[in-house]
Amino acid sequence: MKPVSLKMPGHLAREVSDAARRRGVSRSALIREALEVFLRTERSTPSVSALSRAVDLAGSFAGPEDLSANPDYMRGFGR
């Protein structure tokens, strides 16, 4: 295994030590397991775009369809 050094706030170090003691494993083993779970979860979670998060909002507000079609809405844009 490759050694890795990291710094963490005191409260987090205490929580890691307490959790490792409760589980009967070393702090290193606990941190390795937590990283494996995090990375596995992150890989299986699909990336989401802003558009896909807001797609259900399309058309739910009253007003012009395209603000760029009205020069009044674009006045001062880009300056």
> DSSP class of residue 56?
G
Place of tokens 């170090």: 13
Residue 5 falls inside a structural domain: no
Report whether pLDDT(17) > 80.
Answer: yes
Per the structure, the complete domain to which residue 41 belongs is given by: 10-74
What percent of the chain is modeled with pLDDT above 70? 94
25 burial via Cβ count (<10 Å: 0-12, 13-18, 19+) = middle
Each residue of 27-56: pLDDT tens digit?
A: 999 999 999 999 998 888 777 888 888 888
pLDDT tier for residue 67 given thresholds of 50, 70 and 90: low
* C-alpha span between 55 and 71 (Å, rounded): 26
CB 40 within 8 A of CB 32: no
Q: Compute the distance between CA of residue 7 and CA of residue 5 in angstroms, rounded to an integer.
A: 7
Q: Tokens in use for 27? A: 């702090």
More confident residue, 52 or 25: 25
pLDDT of residue 23: 97
Give the residue with greater pLDDT, 79 vs 6: 6
Specify if 1 maps to a domain.
Answer: no
Determine, yes or no, domain membership for 54: yes
